[in-house]
Amino acid sequence: MKGIFTPPQKQNAPCDSSAGEGLPSLSRRHLIAATFGATAMIACGGAIAQTENRQKTARNGRGGGKRALIIVDMQNDFLPGGALAVERGDEIIPVINALYEKFDTIIVTQDWHPHGHISFASAHDGKEPNDTIDTPNGPQILWPDHCVQGTWGAKICKDLRITKAQLIIRKGYNIDLDSYSAFKEADGQTPTGLAGYLRERGIAHLFVTGVATDFCVGWTAIDAASLGFDVSVVEDATRGINLDGSLDKAWEAMKKAGVSRIKASDIG
């Protein structure tokens, strides 16, 4: 999750550090093996009207193709009590858990930053969170340290059901490159391997959930649509930041990209 906003004050966190333990951890060099494995983790750096046709697509997937649930960045640091919390982000956990039962293929994304990551204000002398710096890949917004590898904040919330997730995409692990989308790093060029993984399994329709609607969820949905997938964002299974109208702008951008805006109840 990324966005320009002032992190809320710390609250009592609903999640603890045990989530995600026991899952395999693979690096980029294992990409080919992971693509053909049953369970793997890859490290990698405006409203739309609901119509009967859209709802049918949500239930069945375009052309009868297989479907997958994508859960974006449901980590302690992005939920109440975390370093970069999305307000009321914890409220979508039961919605996502209910959807979990309806899918055979589940993909989870996880911010996974090293200490001193380029997106951390603490890594740049004299800079504060929400400042902007220039990088070879364009402007970079700076944040408080968050989702640092191996910390409580980087862990998936323990209340989220992910035991049958086939793949966890770790993003933002490259110290000099940020990452927003589950499909491409922030340079817009480097693929994560997710598109190939899905195509190999005949998956055509993606349902995107998580945080934040107007940043990492939106980037993931738009990139997926540009790669030819049929994409639906489940509105009541996401939460946005809505900084200076960013939420409406994100929905409009997703609409232009061909992304559907649906409710969890539309999914059979």
Tell me which residue of 29, 45, 25 sits closest to 190, measured CA to CA.
45
Pairing mode, if any, of strands 138-141 and 132-135?
antiparallel
CA 94, CA 14: separation in Å to the nearest integer?
13
Q: Pairing between strand 106-111 and 167-171? A: parallel
Q: Which residues are catalytic?
A: 73, 171, 216
CB atoms near residue 98 (< 10 Å):
14
Tokens for 119? 């997106």
Burial of residue 220 (CB within 10 Å: 0-12, 13-18, 19+) is buried
